[in-house]
């Protein structure tokens, strides 16, 4: 199976806004990059050999529906990390002491009263275990930076505490080849189909 992890396009939010599972709109013109991404994937979603899943948050759902012509399945496990009290605040307005507390144990700490990275990892992995044995040739997942970073770390068996080092840009594509427990990372966070 080929597994494709796609991050949603750039949202229309003010710079520096903390938005995890907060639903925010896409920036104007997002369809241009989506056209290029759809063409680069060149997957037909009208057969059982290609399936698509997406986060229910509109910034991912809209891209997934565009790419698959409405044939993608919404999955709650693919929502971005819930930043709780920090949602909707600018990062610069969050007390440094709270950010430091989180940075000291980024996997388990939740000074923002939301989800920990470990909680996100657990829900993403449980979902993956339920679908990885599919007979599909192509599986496309449209989600968020945090979800993709966690997913890549889990599939590659990299330390979860270091997943923030993975670069996953807007409208980027990460590709794996998966055969049972044998996983090969083919492309990480690439956006080479998007015109400059």
Question: For residue 100, what pLDDT is reported?
Answer: 97
Judged on CB neighbours under 10 Å (0-12, 13-18, 19+), 74 is middle
SS (H, E, C) the chain: CEEEEEECCCECCCCCECCCCCCCCECCCHHHHHHHHHHHHCCCCCCCCEEEEECCCHHHHHHHHHHHCCCEEECHHHCCCCCHHHCCCEHHHCCHHHHHHHHHCCCCCCCCCCCCHHHHHHHHHHHHHHHCCCCCCEEEEEECHHHHHHHHHHHHCCCHHHHHHCCCCCCCEEEEEEECCEEEEEEEEECCCCCC
Q: Residue 120: phi, psi to the nearest 5?
A: -60, -45
Provide CB contacts within 8 A for 66, sequence distance 6+.
31, 34, 38
Question: For residue 21, what pLDDT is reported?
Answer: 95
Task: State the CB neighbour count (10 A cutoff) for residue 29.
Answer: 10
- Per-residue model confidence as pLDDT tens for the chain (196 residues): 999 999 999 999 999 999 999 999 999 999 999 999 999 898 989 888 999 999 999 999 999 999 999 999 999 999 999 999 999 999 999 999 999 999 999 999 999 999 999 999 999 999 999 999 888 999 999 999 999 999 999 999 999 999 999 999 999 999 999 998 899 999 998 776 554 3
Q: Domain locations in the chain? A: 2-190
pTM, full prediction = 0.95
Question: For residue 196, what pLDDT is reported?
Answer: 37
Question: What CATH number should be reported for the domain whose range is 2-190?
Answer: 3.40.50.1240
Question: For residue 113, what pLDDT is reported?
Answer: 97
């Amino acid at each position: 199976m080929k597994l494709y992890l796609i991050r949603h396009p750039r949202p229309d939010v003010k710079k520096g806004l903390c938005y995890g599972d907060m639903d925010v709109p896409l920036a104007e013109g997002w369809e241009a990059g989506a056209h290029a991404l759809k063409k680069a994937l060149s997957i037909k979603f009208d057969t059982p050999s290609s399936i698509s899943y997406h986060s229910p948050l509109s910034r991912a759902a809209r891209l997934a529906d565009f790419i698959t012509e409405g044939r993608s399945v919404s999955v709650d496990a693919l929502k971005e990390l819930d930043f709780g009290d920090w949602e909707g605040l600018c990062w610069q307005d969050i007390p440094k002491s709270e950010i430091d507390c989180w940075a000291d144990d980024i996997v388990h700490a939740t000074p923002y009263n939301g989800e920990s990275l470990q909680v996100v990892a657990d829900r993403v992995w449980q979902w993956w275990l339920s679908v990885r044995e599919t007979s599909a040739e192509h599986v496309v997942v449209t989600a968020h930076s945090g979800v993709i970073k966690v997913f890549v770390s889990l599939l590659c068996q990299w330390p979860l505490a270091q997943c923030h080092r993975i670069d996953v840009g807007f409208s980027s594509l990460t590709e794996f080849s998966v055969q049972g427990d044998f996983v090969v990372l083919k492309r990480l966070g690439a956006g080479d189909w998007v015109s400059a």
